[in-house]
Structure 1
Amino acid sequence: MKNVMSYKDYSARVEYDDEDGIFAGRIAGIEDVVGFHAESVTELKAAFQEAVDDYLEICAQTGKAPQKPYSGRVMFRVSPEVHRKAALAAELAGVSLNQWAEDVLRKAAS
């Protein structure tokens, strides 16, 4: 079962609360807390889309730029040995280290 919804470049993880008998979710990847809930999958989809639309509307009304989930920049440290192996793998694949890393991360995240 996939517990992720997407709309207008925003995603949310959804969980079922058996005690309350509802589905609940929260927009992921932003610092602002934007949640939603519903009793059925159809209502949940509408509630998620409404939450995103409301968030964007409130940001526009208050003059605040809406947060986007991610910029596309990833910076992290690895050991020199991992760096060497990754650079070699990229060279052998005929692509830049950035392109190689993006391909590896995309496959791992799928």
Structure 2
Amino acid sequence: MNPMTYKGYAARIEYSEEDEAFIGRVAGIRDIVTFHGASVDEIRAAFHEAVDFYLSTCAERGEAPQKPYSGKLMLRVPPELHARAAMRAEAAGKSLNAWVAETLAKAV
């Protein structure tokens, strides 16, 4: 499933049986930005509106908006683990980055 994205931000959306509506939150930032809608079109429009409002509010306050996760992940691992991972990646015909991303995706 692909996340809903807008201006570099991603949405985490769930359905609330109690409210009979989709409830969303901008993912990947510490600030709490929420939105809701009764249909896919409504939740998409509300997501766009929430992101635009968040960005304009930050600008009005002179604050930098928080950025969503960049996709860059820096890790420190023991050299032996690094070597074994590099060997597994090479054996699979992949770069270490591609192999780790694939392995991590399977784990989460």
TM-score (norm: length of structure 1):
0.78
Residue of structure 1 equivalent to 2:68: 69
Question: What are structure 2's unaligned runs of at least 5 residues?
Answer: none
Do the aligned partners of 1:4 and 1:11 also contact (CA within 8 Å) in 2?
yes
Tell me, in whole angstroms, the C-alpha distance in 1 between the residues paired with 2:45 and 2:68. 20
Question: What are structure 1's unaligned runs of at least 5 residues?
Answer: none
Do the aligned partners of 2:27 and 2:68 also contact (CA within 8 Å) in 1?
yes
- Counting only pairs closer than 5 Å after superposition, residues 1-110 of structure 1 correspond to structure 2 as 2=1, 4-89=3-88, 93=93, 100-101=96-97, 103-107=98-102, 108-109=104-105
Q: Which amino acid in the other structure matches residue 14 of structure 2?
A: E
Over the aligned positions, Cα root-mean-square deviation in angstroms equals: 2.5
TM-score (norm: length of structure 2):
0.79
Count residues in correspondence.
104
Distance change in 2, residues 1:37/1:77 (3 Å): same
Deviation at 1:75, TM superposition (A): 2.5
Deviation at 1:76, TM superposition (A): 2.6
Deviations 1:50-79 (Å, cap 9, x if unpaired)? 000000000110010011112444223434
Tell me, in whole angstroms, the C-alpha distance in 2 between the residues paired with 1:15 and 1:94. 35
Distance change in 2, residues 1:41/1:71 (3 Å): closer
Tell me, in whole angstroms, the C-alpha distance in 2 between the residues paired with 1:24 and 1:68. 21
State the identity as a percent: 53
Tell me, in whole angstroms, the C-alpha distance in 2 between the residues paired with 1:109 and 1:94. 15
